[in-house]
Amino acid sequence: MSADTLEQPIEQLIHHELAAAASGDRHAYGRIVAISQNTVTAVALAITRDVPASEDISQEAFLKAWQQLGRLHNPASFLPWLRQITRNLAHDHLRANRHRPLDGEVAELAIARAADPAGTPVRQLIDREREAVAAELISELPEDSREVLLLYYREGRNSRQVASLLGLSDAAVRKRLSRARSCLRTELLARFGEFARGSAPGTAFALTVVTALGSFSKPAAAAGLTTAGSTLAGGVLGKLLFGSAGVVGGGVLASLVTAWLCRKLLERYADDAEERRRILRCYNTYLAMSTAVCLGVLAAVWLFESPVPSLAIAVAGFLVLNYQLMVPLPRIMNPLLRRDAERTPSGAARRALVYRLTFGPSGLLIANIGLIGMFVIVYLSNS
């Protein structure tokens, strides 16, 4: 970054470029990459301790963020969001390579990949030693200090700049720097600083990302990133009516209407206040759980990058709701259905059929299909 760039707050620079990037301007997004590439690669390197892998992960993070800019509703959230995407990808990389630790032959292969293939054996040996020492030094640092120390050297030892890029206070950055320094001897700290600066991505990194953007369609406009008029018409209003919020909101509304109608059906079988109380308690529990599942799925889709949390909520919700319809409700209603058939044989079979289609196996199957369908629509609308 230039000296003029450093004089401006990082958030202001990104905010200035995001509106154009969200409209499909790849060059504007390229400038965002140039502003934040040191941060993203430092986050990935702190986790993986592998320079080539950290750059691959960082490029993937930028491309993923470009595709999903439509999820971003607040420009101030871009850097925290991008850092979280990077951390998720880096941890995924570690899990995928957990049986291939960075030592021995695997380390040599990783280091050889980073070195210039056309370089001399001496050059390759130097690169190999540098990478091995760097991985060892990073491992010795406290986890919460690795990103800070890497970025500190890459950003010209400007703690306030590091604080802005990592979303920390300057005091927190200084504290972590102090902890990191106490873990390394002076000569090793100097070597680490040299490594941090030498491994920082250059201009070619941003150019590579911008070039790769040509393989993707432009991102959908996001609320808060477009102009005021289009934000109201196509952003907030569009999401409320047609996006995931509309899907889940419509699902909750439909559930409430259906539940109200089902309540009337159940209450007809009650003879006294106690029976009515038992039915309503079961009914209210089911209604509350249905609403919680719908809202929980929506919250998970919006809050988490991975679909796993929303899927886990949906599956857990299915199990709990199915249990309510298969155990507590039949325990209450079966004696009432038998009494109804004995008391009023005429039409009892029809009434029992309506109940089974609503609350029995058939109704349960329909409800499950509806909930699964809603989850799929929510997921696709946010992908």
pLDDT at 381 (0 to 100): 52
pLDDT at 33 (0 to 100): 92
What does the block give as tokens for 186? 């002076």
pLDDT at 12 (0 to 100): 79
* Residue 363: burial class (beta carbons within 10 Å; 0-12, 13-18, 19+): middle
DSSP character string of 235-255: IIHHHHHHSHHHHHHHHHHHH
For 334, half-sphere exposure in the C-beta direction (CA atoms, 13 angstrom radius) is: 8
pLDDT at 378 (0 to 100): 53
Q: What is the pTM of this model?
A: 0.51
For residues 148 and 24, give the distance between their C-alpha atoms in angstroms, rounded to a whole number: 32
pLDDT at 2 (0 to 100): 42
pLDDT at 253 (0 to 100): 55
What does the block give as tokens for 112? 């050889």
221 secondary structure, DSSP code = P
* CB neighbour list of residue 70: distance below 8 Å, 6 or more residues apart: 22, 219, 220, 221, 222
For residue 150, the Cα-to-chain-centroid distance in whole angstroms is 25
pLDDT at 257 (0 to 100): 62
Digit-by-digit pLDDT tens for the chain (383 residues) are 444 444 456 777 888 888 888 888 889 999 999 988 988 998 888 888 888 888 999 999 999 999 888 777 787 888 889 989 999 999 999 888 775 544 444 444 444 444 444 455 555 555 556 566 666 767 777 777 787 888 888 887 888 888 878 888 888 888 888 887 787 777 777 777 888 888 888 888 988 888 888 777 666 554 445 443 343 334 444 444 444 445 555 555 555 566 666 777 788 888 888 988 998 888 888 888 877 877 887 777 677 656 677 778 877 877 887 787 788 888 888 898 889 888 888 888 888 887 777 776 666 666 666 666 665 655 555 44
